[in-house]
Amino acid sequence: MYESHFGLSGPPFQLNPDPAFYFDSRGHSNALAYLKFGVYQGEGFIVVTGEIGAGKTTLVRTLLEGLNPDQVVAAQVVSTQLESGDLLRSIITAFGIPPLGTTKAHLIATLEGFLTALATKNRRALLIVDEAQNLSLEAIEELRMLSNFQLGKHALLQSFLVGQPELRTLLESKSMEQFRQRVIASCHLGPLDDLETRAYIEHRMRRVGWKDQPHFEPDAFAAIHRWTGGIPRRINLLCNRLLLACFLNGENDISAAQVEQTARELRGEVGEPTVLPQTSPSAARVQPEPGPETAPAGAEPVPAVDRERALSEVVRYQLGPAGPLHAPLVCLIDGPVGYMKAGALAQALREQAELPVLVAVNPGPESAVSAAKALDGALPLPAVEMHLGAAPQGYAAMAAQAQVRFDALLDELQPCAVLALGAGDAVLACSLVAVKRGLPLLRVDAGVRGTHRPATDELNAVLMDRIAEVLFTSKLTAHYTLYREGIASSRVHCVGSLMENVLHVALERAMSPEQALASAAVPDDCLRQPQGYLLVTLGLSGPDPARELREVLQVLTLLKGEIPVLWPADASVLATLQSAGMEKQLRKSGVVLLPAFGYLEMAALVRQATCVAQGPEARWQEECATLDVPSFVLAVRAGQDHTAEEAAGLPVARNADQAVRAVQEAIRMRSLKEEQVEAYWDGGPALRIVQHLRSVLPRQSAVVDDGGVTWSAVS
């Protein structure tokens, strides 16, 4: 009625969910990232809750529109008090499967056959259950049983449960413990805040060609937020009535007074109080619920006895003077590189007064960072570290174990914030717990895309960047990546890479390459060649190490005419040389075989190298990038996929000719290099992070009780 009068192309505030009007508030954006993460994982359950009218259905339909139907077959079921048998029939109907019978056994066989057929075509099935708070316990148990369908190691069916807050209460019952262990993530959609309410209204109006007719006065938006509480459906109802009233009254302005009058009329029509609410709900976000609902996804609130058991699995160390452990900064790490970076940041924090202690938390077993721990005394390491010991098993089981232990640890430590270093599954699982509890989540090395890391870690990084409050990037290109992904620039700070701090210390304390070769009784004349040297860092990891070593030596033999080749060989190489009797081929290759050096000596060799030939894991890539040393992956094993390395811009030499070209290009670049300007010597990245933390973290008092936390001694 009013659309043509105001020059609108359609109704801006219809009540039916429409993905075309999806508004990317922070809460909805984070929830959508959770859903996309769940789709990629391809297993387990994701639970999304929100008040009536919070935008859950629109969110789900937006997700469905973005899925590739050639890869994911999605079906949606709206639950209206469905029992287990009714639910099975509804699922089969939603997927468009003709049933083979009416008994439960027939229904299950029909569904399993359909899902298996999809899997054989490399397609997956996704089930979305809307209004899931109406499901019976038996129906939810039926969903859990359906999640057991597998082909090989791959789940055949993944389910999302979407419902009102009562769904969380339902899932917290004792009988749902097994189901909770299958939940890989959960989030709650809250209301929009006042600024988002205005942006939401303007977004919907612009979608239909709004040209500021009618005009919303600034105080009208605040009034709309007060009367609707920031609930999208209530905003739609009120704004639709406001536009109609404006049209009928022949007006072109919407004022706060008009909002109040219309809101009172609407409330009176539905029997609600016509007085202005005293308080408005909090801002929309993926937020923790009060009380027991702060438990992590996949785990019920941990009782005292279970919490003690969870904490008993945590291995703790105090490696140096840590000071009072009051409201520390918890730093999540998942590997040796993250451990070293955490040490560099911990040292910078110790040098600043009134800043919290850094506690390094490794969600996995202690062995995950053992390589870096061996550097104690050579590099700064975290003064306090803890290992949760989550077993590296399937994602759902590992995440549940890590989250329960991390949740208990957060109760003990009461940290001021959580900082995530790394992008592994366990770091993500613990990051979700921090966000769920309302703790500030900070991200280091944010915005890094297209690396040689696994595809799952790549997606994890995207999700953590979306949910983190503060993001520290290592370079401006990462800053721009986050900008393109819609992340507000106010959340992003370009500080450089903490690897610069690690190398700053490592290279000061390392013996020189000349000293390293002398310690191995190897002449150092290869270090004085004008073209420099090629450093080989790869090990042998294939099923046939003798064949792999033979092919590597054939390539390196051709390279000796271009450049001296140094290979600090690990145990796998030395054992294969001896068992396969390849000493003669080694001498013919001209390769200078060195003993395996420690991190410090290897860093010094990388620093002076003309080029580095790495294995598929690209272990030294971050050091090479920081030191501006060219590198490539030497990929001689047939059938091995190296698309990840190539996508990251890391050259892959699949044969001798490609390896020769990579080395020749590195020699050419070496001749063009001016005297190296070692800007990373200033230790700047850690200091810049600390300076920012000073502005966002609470100051520490001089004397604080540490709450009785005890630590095991380190000999």
Inter-residue contact 14 to 236 (CB < 8 Å): yes
pLDDT at 554 over 50: yes
pLDDT at 673 over 70: no
Question: Of the given ranges (32-36, 113-117, 354-358), which has the lowest mean pLDDT?
Answer: 32-36
Helix (H, G, I), strand (E, B) or coil at 40: helix
Q: Give strand pairing partners of 359.
A: 330, 384
DSSP per-residue letters across 351-371: TSTT-PPEEEEESS-GGGGHH
The torsion angles phi and psi of 441, rounded to 5 degrees, stand at -105, 125
- Model pLDDT, residue 328: 92
pLDDT at 647 over 50: no
The C-alpha atoms of residue 357 and residue 321 are separated, in whole angstroms, by 10
Banded model confidence at residue 705, pLDDT cuts 50, 70, 90: very low
Task: Give the residue carrying structure tokens 């899925």.
Answer: 67
Question: Of the given ranges (148-152, 534-538, 627-631), which has the lowest mean pLDDT?
Answer: 148-152
**DSSP letter, residue 498:** H
What's the mean pLDDT in 192-215?
Answer: 90
What's the mean pLDDT in 614-623?
Answer: 86
pLDDT at 415 over 60: yes
- Model pLDDT, residue 533: 93
Banded model confidence at residue 637, pLDDT cuts 50, 70, 90: low
Q: Give strand pairing partners of 332.
A: 361, 420
pLDDT at 706 over 50: no
- Model pLDDT, residue 321: 59
In the chain, % of residues over pLDDT 90: 26
> What is the token pair recorded at 178?
């097994």
Inter-residue contact 180 to 299 (CB < 8 Å): yes
pLDDT at 607 over 90: yes
Element (H, E) at 458: helix 455-467
Please tell me whether the peptide bond between 214 and the residue prior to it is cis, using omega within 30 degrees of 0: yes
- Model pLDDT, residue 409: 93
How large is the C-alpha radius of gyration of the chain? 30
Q: What is the pLDDT of residues 14-73, one digit of tens each?
A: 888 888 888 878 778 777 777 777 777 777 888 888 888 888 888 888 888 888 888 899
In the chain, % of residues over pLDDT 70: 85
Cβ contacts of 159 within 8 Å, gap of 6 or more: 45, 126, 127, 128, 129, 143, 146, 147
- Model pLDDT, residue 279: 45
What's the mean pLDDT in 324-328?
Answer: 78
- Model pLDDT, residue 296: 39
- Model pLDDT, residue 273: 58
How deeply is 713 buried, as exposed, middle or buried, from its count of CB atoms within 10 A (0-12, 13-18, 19+)?
exposed
pLDDT at 297 over 50: no
- Model pLDDT, residue 129: 92
Question: Of the given ranges (231-240, 464-473, 499-508, 706-715), which has the lowest mean pLDDT?
Answer: 706-715
The C-alpha atoms of residue 71 and residue 136 are separated, in whole angstroms, by 31
The C-alpha atoms of residue 538 and residue 25 are separated, in whole angstroms, by 46
pLDDT at 287 over 90: no
Look up the pTM and report it. 0.60
The C-alpha atoms of residue 121 and residue 677 are separated, in whole angstroms, by 54
- Model pLDDT, residue 63: 85
Greatest alpha-carbon pair distance for the chain in Å reads 98
- Model pLDDT, residue 479: 78
Q: What is the mean pLDDT of the chain?
A: 82
- Residue 649 Rama label (left phi>0; alpha psi -120 to 50; beta): left
What's the mean pLDDT in 130-149?
Answer: 88
Question: Of the given ranges (418-432, 577-591, 637-651), which has the lowest mean pLDDT?
Answer: 637-651
What's the mean pLDDT in 97-125?
Answer: 86
What's the mean pLDDT in 608-612?
Answer: 93
Q: In the 3-class helix/strand/coil scheme, how is 41-84 assigned residue by residue?
A: HCCCEEEEEECCCCCHHHHHHHHHHCCCCCCEEEEEEECCCCCH
Banded model confidence at residue 488, pLDDT cuts 50, 70, 90: confident
pLDDT at 305 over 90: no
pLDDT at 468 over 80: yes
Given the DSSP bridges, would you call strands 592-594 and 565-568 parallel, antiparallel or unpaired? parallel
What's the mean pLDDT in 574-585?
Answer: 86
- Model pLDDT, residue 475: 82
Q: Is the dihedral of CA 268, 273, 274, 280 positive or negative?
A: negative
